Structure 1
Amino acid sequence: MRELSRRQAIIGLGAFTLVLAGCGEDEAPKQAAQTANKAGAMANYGVNQQFKATEPLSFDVLYNNHPFYPLKDDWLFWEELTKRTNVTLKPVAVPLSDYEKKRSLMIGAGDAPLIIPKTYHPQEEAFVASGAVLPVSEYFDLMPNLKDKVARWKMEPELDTLRQADGRIYLLPGMHENVWVDYTLAMRMDILEELDLEVPKTWDELYTVLKAMKTKYPDLYPMTDRFGIPTPGGNLLKLVAQAYGTKGGWEYQHAFWDATAGKFVYTGAMPQYKQMIEYLHKLVKEKLLDPEAFTQQDEQADQKLISGKSFVISCNAQTLVNEFRGALTKANPDAKIAKIPVPMGPVGDYKIGTRLENGVMISKKALEHKNFVAIMQFVDWLWYSDQGLEFCKWGVEGTTFTKDASGGYKPADDVDFVGLNPDASKHLQKDFGFQNGVFSYGGTTKLLESTFSEEELEFQKVMNARKAWPVDPPHPFNEEEREQATLWETPLKDFVTQQTLKFILGERDLSEWDAYVKELEGNNMASYINLVNTAYDRFKKEHG
């Protein structure tokens, strides 16, 4: 574990200051913005205080339009938000499928809204050099709720992973009180019962279960998978890689922190990465895993599960309820499906994940806006205050939810969400706009788990008993390094993705692993890792 830097120690003592050495040249515009652009801002805004602009305000926001709950102008969310904050949000709607591309085009053209949510680190890095988005860490003093949660939850190690080479943060992250694991495997419990099998706790036990299923049902693949587009095997590779102590699929990053060696190594060349490949190749070779699992459309995968052609598939809590359970029961009334705790591997009982969520970028245009301080206060309230987080998740007490004497949440009788009230006539997301992925993420564990069924709470109980994986140290590139790294990253990622799939499917023999590593070296692997370790050493020296 890294020693606390002086800056981190100061934060730990409660004096949360993020003024960094070398940023003095930007102090003047920063001070000017906070002094002059206060129209509509509250004079004494503080932690868990209701933000309400002193005059009616209107801000545009980039809106990721989800097909499961398409945008509606008459949602209660918009009306109640204006009532509480005196702010009217004007959504600039972009389809979910085009969100990242359209966001980049709008920012590049200078046409982006003031508030740009639903951004996953490190996507913000593409906009840092141009100055298109604000170094938001310079303005944390305007965000008391964010500062409070960072201090109380000791989030500074996570925030450090967002810092760029200048020491600043350009993305306001969603923050969870604790590491939360959602994605895992779903399994047909009735098939386990039929074969007198226990829920597998390890990947080796899963292999045994799949073998038994194959013996009983030789004409089908016991396991198929979804979430393979655009990242082949996105969730499955992630989970298996974690079990072996590396990163794959959705989580794949070129550089992996080797704590023993005290340096970064190239992920796609790690022995542990090869072990992940060997495991999955074994499943495919023995026809336990559908070879189409890594690249098929979700709808194809779902249909295989629902029609009984497969018994195991990736899922999360919402997918289980919204996509699988109802359709499967309709097709086969005797079928029972459930999430299983993420199987473990050689690294043991770790809960691998992050407390950070997707976050919000603020356009550079906001700094010159007469309502700049009000914008930052509003964002702080909506995304970081306890009241704002509750509002985004649950809505209006007495209308969309009620609370019991212990403070527990319950949907109103006529409102459903993730099957909590399946016979209700209205839906929390579709009809009211709450629990919306643009606004609702992060918060206390109690709030997070407030929408969980008893079944999901049992899953979380098992996962929460596991140890949290340490946070990697930051290694931000400077502008020149970023430019060089960008030239190497795409060819490297494409090559690793292609070869990983070939090894797993048996299109390339694993005896060629050493040749594959040499091919990585030909794609600038060593130069890339040297760049990463140089950036790590520099940041550690300059910022602790």
Structure 2
Amino acid sequence: MYQLSRRQVLLAAGAAASTLALAGCGDDDEGDQDLSGKKAGAMDKYAAGDQFKATEAVKFSIMLLSNAGYPYKADWLFWSELTKRTNVTLEPTVIPGSDYNQKRSVMVSAGDAPMIIPKTYHPDEEALIAGGAILPVSDYLDLMPNFKDKVAKWKLDSDLDTYRQEDGKFYLLPGIHETVYVDYSLAVRTDILAKLNLQVPKTWDDLHAVLKAMKTAYPDQYPMSDRWSTPPQPGGNNLLALLSNAYGTGAGWDYQNAWFDKSAGKFVLTGAMDQYKQMLTFANTLVSEKLLDPESFTQQDDQARQKFANGKSFVISCNAQTLVNELRKDIAKIPGATVVKIPRPIGPNGANRPGTARLESGIMISKKALESKNFVAMMQFIDWLWYSDAGQEFAKWGVEGTTFTKDAAGKRTLTPDVNVVGLNPSGSKHLQVDFGFYNGVFAYGGSTELRESFYSDEEKEFQKEMNSREALPVPPPKPFSVDERERATLWETGIKDYVFQQTLKFILNQRPLGDWDKYVAELKGKNADQYVELVNKAYDRYKKAHP
């Protein structure tokens, strides 16, 4: 049996006796932490809006996801300009995006992770808490005035509460948006729609009809062949996330083992929900009718893109960047080919958008970072780069006069030779590829104005439609105690893996949907009932403490 560390025993005892209120950043007090000997390079006075610059040259190790669309380069302007502005040199451990999640978990669990561990999606951090390898970052928010300022101004306390454990702490610093933001959807070849006299689909039933018409016109092809089947999650990450949202559940990238059933007032097992079955039934129909390429759930991105580029498929997952940077370039050789990102199709759950979209992937801090004499400087640096207005502008737009200009009204414009997301198609240099800015490791979150400064007219129309939809409520907190977290961690992976395995079997006709009840019973054998009971116990305890 796993043996609790002294720290975890103390946390458990403290959680049992504590009257700590979980909501609000005001409860997080760096003053309770002993940071003597850890302030080398830190600014004595550092407040929201200040330019951070270490008082001596410092280096911090960081885990870096290398995006296939703009692979890591050591000579990016981003690195040298960052050092010039902050006196900080980042030392990256570079990991390809396809391996990132798995290698991150292995390195963190082994205690070998760099100090700064970005690009982590909640609740992935929860499985790493019990091992004690990551810091409760909420203990150090007083070192992060920009983060605290934006949380207060944008009223994000309740969003952050969903990240907190029973000890009142959270272990992931999320990217934070001023407003709800939805990007990922589907791309559709509009020239094919026009040729077949079809309209842009507004619902999933519309999309079904469109795919059937495409199949009739092109009987030897799969109208849709999808991407983003990134290990270790098997297949359909974006497609199943979109579909599950339309049906009122969670799958793919949006999957969590426990889903809050508002009508029942409790959490239920996501993979056993009726809505999950309905979603699988629809996906199975697309595969059975040969409208969706079954390889969508196993193929690499390059394979999916190649099929789209060769005119072998007409529908594929996308976001604003991949639409412009990849898909439009991919089909450029097809005469008259055009493609757009369509608003997310609407399903039985109505016209909505995820309410949790104000929080994005975030940063974990390795426990060993606390041993550094530069720890305070590191937290100040993170606060400036990821959460200050100036740091966010720098990470996204780059260097004024080199990659962009700004007029008297504050409007930013790319310099004539620089392009990104199709804003300056004639530009010979790319903001991401050639300079390292607008990198998903650093450039996320921020004000609505900053985010929209990159919108093309068509993206503005997409956002206008998505913003007109009702934002779904954020699920309530269900913080585990240390002991509960240990037990939950033992069960969660087995449940999740089995749900994913059977999900693909149901979709790909490797298992009949008539086996649904048998499958649900099999989940019980994976400790699913005990897990959901544990989740609801934690939820009820939190609800009772916060009426």
- Using the size of structure 1 for normalisation, the TM-score is 0.91
1:213 alignment partner in structure 2:
214
Superposed CA deviations along residues 67-108 of structure 1, whole A, max 9, x for unmatched, are: 332333322212211221122222233333333343334334
**Structure 1 residues 227 and 65, CA, compared in 2 at 3 Å: closer, same or farther?**
closer
Q: 1:263 aligns with which of 261, 266, 289?
A: 266
Gaps of 5+ in 2: 1-18
Name the stretch that deviates more: 147-156 or 297-306: 297-306
Q: Which amino acid aligns with 2:344?
A: V
SS at match of 1:62: strand
Report if aligned partners of 2:420, 2:432 keep a CA contact under 8 Å in 1: yes
Q: Which amino acid aligns with 1:86?
A: N
Q: 2:244 aligns with which of 211, 231, 241?
A: 241
Q: 1:368 aligns with which of 358, 368, 371?
A: 371
Is 1:382 paired with 2:385?
yes
Distance 1:476 1:132 in 2: 19
Distance 1:472 1:446 in 2: 27
**CA displacement at 1:51 relative to structure 2:** 1.1
1:18 alignment partner in structure 2:
27
1:115 alignment partner in structure 2:
116
Q: Which amino acid aligns with 2:188?
A: M
**CA displacement at 1:63 relative to structure 2:** 2.1
Distance 1:60 1:19 in 2: 25
Is 1:444 paired with 2:447?
yes
**CA displacement at 1:257 relative to structure 2:** 0.2
Is 1:431 paired with 2:434?
yes
1:345 alignment partner in structure 2:
347
Q: Which runs of 4+ in 1 moved over 6 A?
A: none
Q: 2:285 aligns with which of 273, 279, 282?
A: 282
1:63-74 residue pairs with structure 2 within 5 A? 63-74=64-75
SS at match of 2:453: helix
SS at match of 1:235: helix
**CA displacement at 1:328 relative to structure 2:** 0.7
Superposed CA deviations along residues 106-154 of structure 1, whole A, max 9, x for unmatched, are: 3344333222222222222233223222211111111110001101111
Distance 2:98 2:313 in 1: 28
Q: Which amino acid aligns with 2:341?
A: K
1:23 alignment partner in structure 2:
none
Report if aligned partners of 1:53, 1:85 keep a CA contact under 8 Å in 2: yes
Distance 2:503 2:372 in 1: 48
1:327 alignment partner in structure 2:
330
2:307 alignment partner in structure 1:
304
Q: Which amino acid aligns with 1:282?
A: T
Superposed CA deviations along residues 506-544 of structure 1, whole A, max 9, x for unmatched, are: 332222222222222232221111111112122334466
Distance 1:62 1:468 in 2: 33
Distance 1:110 1:250 in 2: 26
Distance 2:134 2:514 in 1: 47
- Using the size of structure 2 for normalisation, the TM-score is 0.91
| Matched positions, count | 526
**Structure 1 residues 365 and 296, CA, compared in 2 at 3 Å: closer, same or farther?**
closer
1:132-531 residue pairs with structure 2 within 5 A? 132-230=133-231, 231-330=234-333, 332-352=334-354, 353-531=356-534
Name the stretch that deviates more: 350-359 or 382-391: 350-359
Name the stretch that deviates more: 94-103 or 240-249: 94-103
Report if aligned partners of 1:172, 1:360 keep a CA contact under 8 Å in 2: yes
**Structure 1 residues 495 and 37, CA, compared in 2 at 3 Å: closer, same or farther?**
closer
**Structure 1 residues 400 and 495, CA, compared in 2 at 3 Å: closer, same or farther?**
same
**Structure 1 residues 504 and 326, CA, compared in 2 at 3 Å: closer, same or farther?**
same
Report if aligned partners of 1:246, 1:273 keep a CA contact under 8 Å in 2: yes
**CA displacement at 1:6 relative to structure 2:** 10
SS at match of 1:451: coil
SS at match of 2:26: coil
Q: Which amino acid aligns with 1:63?
A: L
**CA displacement at 1:397 relative to structure 2:** 0.6
Q: Which amino acid aligns with 1:404?
A: D
Name the stretch that deviates more: 47-56 or 488-497: 488-497
**Structure 1 residues 273 and 108, CA, compared in 2 at 3 Å: closer, same or farther?**
closer
1:61 alignment partner in structure 2:
62
**Structure 1 residues 386 and 338, CA, compared in 2 at 3 Å: closer, same or farther?**
same
Distance 1:104 1:215 in 2: 46
SS at match of 1:148: helix
**CA displacement at 1:54 relative to structure 2:** 2.2
Gaps of 5+ in 1: 21-25
Report if aligned partners of 2:130, 2:486 keep a CA contact under 8 Å in 1: no
**Structure 1 residues 512 and 96, CA, compared in 2 at 3 Å: closer, same or farther?**
closer
Distance 1:111 1:480 in 2: 25
SS at match of 1:538: helix
CA RMSD of aligned residues (A): 2.2
Distance 2:111 2:520 in 1: 42
